[in-house]
């Protein structure tokens, strides 16, 4: 086997990818789901409808350029590997994957969206060798802000155990809500970073925490107060990102205190922020996915299909 199709239909991106395990190449097609101006998200019914409209064209485009039936398929079918983890939007990708697998007569591997993010980060950093070893992975996005301990288990190469999390607001939610109050389009991450880079301030922030867990709910209220007090939008943006950095630093220190010098892997859309990445790399090192593999993508699901299917032969 050599070519693996990955499909991911997350809440904000339709994504497909082909992974050539012989050459190590990944080809991707991605399209954001349409969000109305001023909105801070999508209803699941709207997300499902948009995936249905977009997925077929993306698969068609991918195979027109990189033709030939896949040898295996991987698809994300749930947000996380946790009991009760479910979102309807993943049904679109799962249905398409099952149809393609049945028609092509190839094996299908179902994984979580979070596992796909982690695998994409490992691929992006050239560390697929960590699959099968223990390491700490951080997943920061609009729906998740977690530190998990990853270790192998029969039938699941990326079994995760939760170590720390945000107890309320997620990092991506904080970014988008602050971006919304600053008039930035959704998703606000890239524009918020651009704005924050204009700030001359550096904020010393102590993370609100409970044990290894953190709380991010105060970011939105503080940023609103700063804006109402007339502080510059660039400084408000910088405070938001520095607050997320403080929480991420707290979780990283906590996991290092608990597990020692295990490898650190950072994934998820928020981790494409270069300001946060630079600060974390300077202090802790760690493996950060390239931006195209940080945001939602299907590359990790394709890679996991290869790991799960070839290793089972």
Is a pLDDT exceeding 60 seen at residue 201? yes
Average pLDDT value over all residues in the chain: 94
pLDDT in tens, 172-194: 999 999 999 999 999 999 999 99
CA distance 265 to 128: 11
Threshold 0.75, pTM exceeds: yes
pLDDT in tens, 80-122: 988 889 999 999 999 999 999 999 999 999 999 999 999 999 9
Residue 12: Cβ-neighbour burial (10 angstroms; 0-12, 13-18, 19+): buried
- Domains annotated on the chain, with CATH: 3-132+292-311 (3.30.420.40), 171-262 (3.30.420.40)
- The enclosing H or E element of 259 equals helix 233-259
CA distance 298 to 206: 35
pLDDT of residue 153: 75
Is a pLDDT exceeding 80 seen at residue 295? yes
CA distance 198 to 135: 36
**pLDDT tier, 313 (very low <50, low <70, confident <90, very high otherwise):** very low
CA distance 189 to 182: 12
pLDDT of residue 39: 83
CA distance 89 to 86: 9
**Which among 50, 46, 45 is positioned nearest to 31, based on CA atoms?**
50
**First CA to last CA distance, the chain:** 10
The answer to whether residues 2 and 71 touch, using CB atoms and an 8 Å cutoff, is yes
Is a pLDDT exceeding 60 seen at residue 1? no
């Amino acid at each position: 086997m050599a070519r693996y199709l990955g499909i991911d239909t997350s809440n904000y991106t339709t994504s497909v990818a082909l992974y050539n395990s012989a050459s190590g190449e990944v080809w991707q097609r991605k399209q954001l789901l349409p969000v109305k101006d001023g909105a801070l998200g999508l209803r699941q019914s709207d997300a499902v409808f948009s995936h249905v409209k977009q997925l077929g064209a993306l698969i068609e485009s991918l195979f027109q350029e990189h033709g030939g039936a896949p040898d295996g398929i991987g698809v994300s079918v749930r947000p996380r590997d946790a009991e009760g983890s479910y979102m309807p939007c993943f049904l679109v990708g799962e249905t398409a994957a099952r149809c393609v697998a049945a028609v092509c007569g190839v094996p299908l591997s179902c994984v979580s969206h979070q596992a796909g993010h982690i695998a994409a980060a490992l691929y992006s950093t050239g560390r697929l060798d960590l699959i099968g070893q223990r390491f700490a992975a951080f997943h920061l996005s609009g729906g998740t802000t977690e530190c998990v301990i990853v270790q192998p288990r029969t039938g699941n190469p990326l079994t995760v155990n939760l170590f720390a999390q945000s107890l309320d607001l997620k990092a991506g939610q904080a970014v988008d809500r602050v971006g919304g109050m600053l008039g930035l389009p959704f998703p606000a991450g890239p524009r918020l970073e651009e704005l924050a880079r204009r700030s001359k301030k550096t904020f010393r922030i102590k993370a609100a925490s409970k044990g290894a867990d953190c709380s991010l709910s105060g970011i939105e209220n503080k940023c609103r107060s700063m804006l109402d007090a007339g502080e510059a939008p660039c400084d408000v943006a910088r405070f938001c990102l520095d607050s997320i950095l403080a929480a991420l630093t707290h979780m990283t220190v906590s996991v290092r205190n608990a597990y020692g010098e295990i490898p650190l892997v950072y994934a998820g859309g928020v981790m494409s922020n270069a300001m946060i990445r630079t600060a974390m790399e300077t202090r802790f090192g760690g493996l950060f996915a390239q931006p195209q593999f940080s945001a939602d993508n299907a590359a990790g699901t394709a890679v996991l299909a290869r790991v799960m299917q070839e290793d089972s032969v």
